[in-house]
Amino acid sequence: MNTATRAATLRDPAWAGRVWWCSVALVLLWPLAVATEFRPWVLFEPSNMKISARFIASFFPPVLNGEFLALVAREAWRTVAIATAGLSLALVLAIPLTLLSTSALSVSALSGRMAPGPFWFRQVLRWLLIVLRSVPELVWALVFVRVVGLGPTAGVLAIALTYGGMLGKVYGEILESGEAHPTQTLMRNGSGRLQALFYGLLPQNAAELSSYTVYRWECAIRSSVVLGFVGAGGLGQQLDNSMKMFNGGEVATMLLVFMALVALADRVSASLRKALG
């Protein structure tokens, strides 16, 4: 068999279509690249290359003297502390809002539709949770830095508000997705809402609720680093300072510490969630 017929028999029937769609995609990409001022060759201009190379070269060796390491350790602890304090305030916000807004604890819904009063009350609380959740924590932090000044208070408040909304919404979903029968039976037989919660809803959902909370704690550690960049304290603020001073060695140390911190939180949260079942 000569090569021409061999090529003809092996021809891919979908080839033309693929080429066509790829070229259409490239044409559509053009406006995106213009809108984002995407000019990768800027990265490789000699003057830019020199600055980048100097900055990256200054990463080695990382700064490892005792004084700086103590500072980094203190800031890393502050990062964890901001996340933990923020999450505990978020719980203070989320738990009452969940209990007030979940339809699993509605007495009037036991017989057909929920009464309009309680329905709208729950709906308004749900909207409140959605609003709290949908403002990014960085924006809350920017606002609170203006009000309470630089420092961890802004970070704690930002995490508390955003995570309060997230936890409240997801807690409500978890409570409503579980088996409703035990709770309804308790309430039908005259127990109060709190009793129905403690003996019907919580026993079956406690594991899921706590494992979600641990997962959120892990996320809060990650976002508390980011909040430092707008002045809310912790590792992020130090990282921002060192970057502004072009101190590559300090940046390298802090990035390594940050990666270790995230990996540690990841490990701890995974094992806790496994233990919680």
Partner 1 sequence: MTPQAANKPYKLPPPLFSARCSACWFTAAVVLLVTASFWTLNLQWAEFFSLDAARSMGRFLAEFFPPDLSPAFLSRVGWATLETLAMSALGTLMAAVAGLALALPASRLNPGSQAGPSAWARAPTRLLLNALRSIPELVWAALLLISAGLGPMAGTLALALHTTGVLGRLFAESVENAPAGPAQALRTQGIGPLRIFLYATLPQVLPQLLSYTLYRWENNIRAAAVLGVVGAGGLGQLLSFHMGLFHMGKTCTILGAMLLLVALVDALSHGARRVLTR
Give the helix ranges, DSSP H, for 102-201.
116-134, 137-148, 152-177, 181-188, 193-196
Report the alpha-carbon distance of residue 275 to residue 268 in Å, rounded.
Answer: 11
Report the alpha-carbon distance of residue 271 to residue 277 in Å, rounded.
Answer: 10
Q: 112 vs 106, 109, 124, CA distance in Å?
A: 11, 6, 21
CB of 189 to partner 1, least distance (A): 27
Nearest-5° Cα angle at 209, 208 to 210: 95
Report the alpha-carbon distance of residue 69 to residue 76 in Å, rounded.
Answer: 10
Closer to partner 1 by Cβ: residue 110 or 263: 263
CB of 205 to partner 1, least distance (A): 17
CB of 130 to partner 1, least distance (A): 8
Closer to partner 1 by Cβ: residue 44 or 113: 44
Taking the CB of residue 228, how many other CB atoms lie within 10 A of it? 25
CB of 146 to partner 1, least distance (A): 6
Closer to partner 1 by Cβ: residue 160 or 196: 160
CB of 118 to partner 1, least distance (A): 24
Closer to partner 1 by Cβ: residue 146 or 188: 146
Taking the CB of residue 215, how many other CB atoms lie within 10 A of it? 15
Closer to partner 1 by Cβ: residue 88 or 204: 88
The site for partner 1 (CB under 8 A) is made up of 29, 31-33, 35-40, 42-43, 48, 51-52, 55, 77-78, 80-82, 84-85, 88, 134-136, 138-139, 142, 146-149, 151-153, 156-157, 222-223, 225-226, 229-230, 236, 239-240, 243, 246, 251, 255, 258-259, 262-263, 272, 275
